[in-house]
Chains A and B, each alone.
Chain A
Amino acid sequence: MAVVAPASDKPAPIRRRSRLSETWLYLRQSKSGMLGLTILVFHILIALSSPLIVPFDPTDIDASLKNQSPSGEHLFGTDQFGRDVFTRVLLGGRIALVITLTATVIAVTWGGTLGILLGFLGGRIDEAVMRVVDALLAAPYILFLLLIVSSLGSSNRVLIFTLGFFYGIAVVRVARAATLDFVARDFITAARARGERRMTIVLRELLPNVMDILLVEFAMRWSWMLLAFSSLSFLGFGVSPPTPDWGLMIAESRKALQFAPWTAIFPMIALGTLVIGINLAADAVAKALGLDRTQGAPV
């Protein structure tokens, strides 16, 4: 029998590094990703600490102070009821963040799992479910949202599950399309030939490969949902006044745009930066989780 030399002469040192820290290492190389992450962390920190640091009571009405421009005392000015805008901006993201984040997690989890499963199973089930998905996508979901919220009330639980359901529909499509890229590969055939269970194939073989796409999807859905939540508040179905909320604030002060623009601009900036931050961070995380990780080796 021929003597075959070991395939590699010098063994590389074993470096024990968990996946998380490895991803972090790649993430740190991305400037836009770090910027997005900083913005995101900043927003979260404010949301967590704002009740303790705000200078005024957000619901304190003082007619004598209405529509004052930004000053040393009221950094962002005051609104039509004389409430401190700075205080209300700091507090206005709390409810929106909690509700949309939970709803996005729900949306991506069910949409992603169903999408991968459909892509893997194919055939008639796939065909049938996808037609339902198409029908739901074709209808303007904001109408559904309004319908459900107006009939069931706008409690946080109702909002989370309605948003979570409707935003998951688009995720099904994306996850299924991404999965179709991989189902025909030999490693899936290998898993099937081994006799792995379907759920094992979906979760262990397919999920890691579509994870980066799902993450981008997560960011997209989250930022869209933040806007949708604000629209709901704007339309009067989300948070009820006088609770501070960005969407509600923008809605209430749109009439004051001409003479007291600060009442709308500051919540807009807050909402805008959060959405941008989410997108930048998620893009970078997806890339860091992506195939770049194989140290630039051709894949």
Chain B
Amino acid sequence: MNEPFVEVNDLTIGYRNRQGQIVNVLRGVSLVMPRGGALGLVGESGSGKSTLGMALLGHLRAGSQVQAGTVRFEGVDPFALNPAELQALRGGRIALIPQNAAESLTPTMRVGDQIVEVLQFNRILVGAEARDLALELLGQVRLPQPEAMFTRYPHELSGGQQQRVAVAKALAGEPELLVLDEPTTGLDVTTQAHLLDLLAEIVAQMGTAMLYISHDLGVIARVSDRVAVMYAGEIVEVAAVTDIFARPTHPYTRGLLASIPRLTQAGIPKAMPGQPPTPGEHGTGCSFTPRCTFADGTCETVAPTLDAAAQPGQLVRCHHWQTVAKIEFSQELQQAFHKAVRKVEPEPAVELAGVEIAYTRQGLIQRLRGLPEPPATVSDITLTVHKGETLALVGESGSGKTTIVRTIAGLMLPRMGSLKFKDYDLNVGVDRRPLELRQQIQLIFQNPDASLNPRHTVAEILDQPLRLYFNLSRSERRERSIELLERVRLGPHYRLRYPGQLSGGEKQRVAIARAFAAEPQLVLCDEVTSALDVSVQAAVLDLLAELQAEHGVTYIFIAHDLALVHAFADRVAVLYQGRLCEVGSTDEIYTPPHHPYTETLLAAAPRPVPGLRPHLLGSDVPELAPPPRGCPFQRRCPRRIGSICDEEAPPWRVPVEGHRIRCHIPLDELETAQVSAAEHVIPLEPLSNSVSSN
């Protein structure tokens, strides 16, 4: 066959808005994929990457239409097929693995039956044969005990297991092309690492081509051999994965790569100015012009074309790519990181001692029957946060990070232990705390869509803390809210807008302004950047760092992204199943000796460096409850030494003052083993040698 495997030619997809104008979500996208290739599709939200992925399956969002161009899958146009032919194509020759497996699996059907259904549908395998193959597939995606898994319902599985079932289901039709739409977003890092590893192996084995859609450059680096970068509905750069990461030639690709925090680098990465345009908003010229440092008059008026660049197979859509390419990227990257200036004072701000928090309380009957108390969700937390410091709480979902923060905020009560903020006792609920204490502790949430009332204007949102804590007149509140908006770099004209009219980054700025309206001493940040686009994330971190320097506030910062923590925190506390594993300064945490759990997390974190294969440690099976005795990490630990781990709680070991690791293994042994493991598996990034970590 002479036809290319997948060919998209000048594809434009748009919808008609309320005013009757056509808004194009995809604009003249062309790409070619060879059989068995792995193309990574990167872009921020709204860049059209999912629309492109769905177009390969012959699917358009309701109201959208192909305005121009063609899609060919082995010479077949999926948009020209009749429903029966389309059914045979989807799930058969092309399969989709969606982002949220929990939603894509039928909740009322056993997972085995769902796979059997696909098999019967595509290849008329019936009865026992189909069942056997389904079991084989469940085994192939490395689900433990396929027989038992077969009869489970989706809700009985963990998020990672559900995603594996979705993979098995997609593979059941023996597809030639897999379209993966952010399949690991929302999973824990260790689960993600295992799943990516599995995908890479299966794809290599079966020769399946992959279109991998993601916003996470670390994931893209791990799975793809070619990468296409999308911006405002256009492909702005296509190149081999090594070229994209080492020699990007489009200013947007460069900005994007410079804006992601890196595990090997302390300091906040460089923020990209501005924000991506909304569909239909771009002018006649290059859509990146407003955010581009290389832009000139030509860029504003003449749209660049996708031209061949320096590297073989590299295409770039920029008038000035030659100028851009002359600047060595590794040099640029080195200057991208900057340390936040802050002054940490020796006096403690928050002190937690032996804190234990439980969601369920034992009923009277259970107590009378003398049943043992179930292990608490969070237990034995002893931590001190100094004034002006940023402490990061790190751990996977279910590690109790949010529980601790909510207890500090007074939304939950601890079962045991003492919590103190300056001279205030925090063992009381928020209702009983004095007004000045409530004013001094403020929360910022992960998702600004949920934390801002959609029916309040920005002015009303900022008014609430001002009205509650300070006795201000109407005009004083107005003045103060304008001041606050300007402080978070939003103009006063934002006062009359509703959250629905703001972008994600702007919403989070409003949420930050609301927290700082109270003039707090302690700000609890719950994953504040994880709902934001990468290019906006760094700007929000900068803002938080500036505000901290100005007001001397203390941050307790929850994050699951270890690179982000390295960028922003002074000290880190690693939690597993509600128990502390390791506490130390950022430098101490990121260099051996680590707690085996910290080591696992560091190894699993995706990094924007192609060619790195993570060394996977332990299993990724999540635990629902902490073990009653011994080390909390005993069941998944890659460095388990024996029954002592199951029986005895490990001691705190202190390598240096302020750094504690809770493990049975002596420190020197831990360090030797970890240093050699790191040397074996992870090649050092060129950057880490040339730049000191400070």
Contact = CB atoms under 8 A, between A and B. Distances in A.
B28 interface: no
A124 interface: no
Interface stretch (A12-20, A128-136, A245-253): A12-20
Interface string A7-51: 111011111100000000000000000000000000000000000
A204 B493 CA distance: 23
A5 interface: yes
B454 A291 contact: yes
Contact of A195 (B274, B431, B498, B545): B431
B361 interface: no
B438 interface: yes
Given A194-B464, A291-B500, A2 B268 contact: yes
B468 A194 contact: yes
B518 interface: yes
Interface in B496-548: 496, 498-501, 503, 505-506, 509, 514, 518, 538-539, 542-543, 545-546
Interface string A176-205: 000000000111011111111000000011
A293 B496 CA distance: 13
A138 interface: no
A11 B493 contact: yes
Given A194-B518, A291-B500, A299-B500, A9 B274 contact: yes
A294 B454 contact: yes
A96 to B, nearest CB: 34
Contact of B455 (A2, A4, A14, A209): A209
A125 interface: no
B581 interface: no
Q: Which of B268, B430, B447, B455 has the most CB of A within 10 A?
A: B455
A205 B468 contact: no
B677 interface: no
B669 to A, nearest CB: 42
B128 interface: no
B368 to A, nearest CB: 22
Interface string B475-500: 00000000000000111110010111
A12 B338 contact: no
Contacts of B501: 294-295, 297
A152 interface: no
A24 to B, nearest CB: 17
B148 interface: no
A297 B435 contact: no
A4 B273 contact: yes
Interface residues of A, number: 38
B165 interface: no
A4 B271 contact: yes
Interface residues of B, number: 58
A62 to B, nearest CB: 58
Nearest to A14: B493
B546 A193 contact: no
B542 A6 contact: no
Interface string A265-299: 00000000000000000000000000101111111
Contacts of B433: 195
A192 B430 contact: yes
Q: Which of A13, A15, A191, A195 has the most CB of B within 10 A?
A: A195
A164 B18 CA distance: 41
A171 to B, nearest CB: 20
A5 B255 CA distance: 14
A241 interface: no
A14 B497 CA distance: 10
Interface in B557-611: none
A53 interface: no
A209 B271 contact: no
Nearest to A211: B455
B20 to A, nearest CB: 13
Given A13-B493, A294-B498, A294-B500, A196 B542 contact: no
B268 A7 contact: no
A208 interface: yes
A208 to B, nearest CB: 4
A102 B410 CA distance: 43
A193 B274 contact: no
A6 B455 contact: no
B61 interface: no
B18 A7 contact: no
Contacts of A194: 438, 442, 464-465, 468, 518
B322 interface: no
Nearest to A12: B493
A9 B290 contact: yes
B335 to A, nearest CB: 11
Q: Which of A190, A192, A291 has the most CB of B within 10 A?
A: A190
B451 A193 contact: no
A191 B464 contact: yes
Interface in B129-170: none
B453 interface: yes
Given A189-B443, A192-B430, A209-B453, 4 more contacts: A5-B273, A7-B505, A204-B464, A208-B456
Interface of B: 17-18, 268, 270-271, 273-275, 290, 338, 341, 409-411, 430-431, 433, 435, 438, 441-443, 445-447, 449-456, 464-465, 468, 489-493, 496, 498-501, 503, 505-506, 509, 514, 518, 538-539, 542-543, 545-546
14 contacts: A4-B273, A4-B489, A7-B489, A9-B274, A15-B496, A186-B446, A190-B445, A190-B514, A193-B443, A195-B438, A196-B464, A205-B453, A296-B18, A299-B500
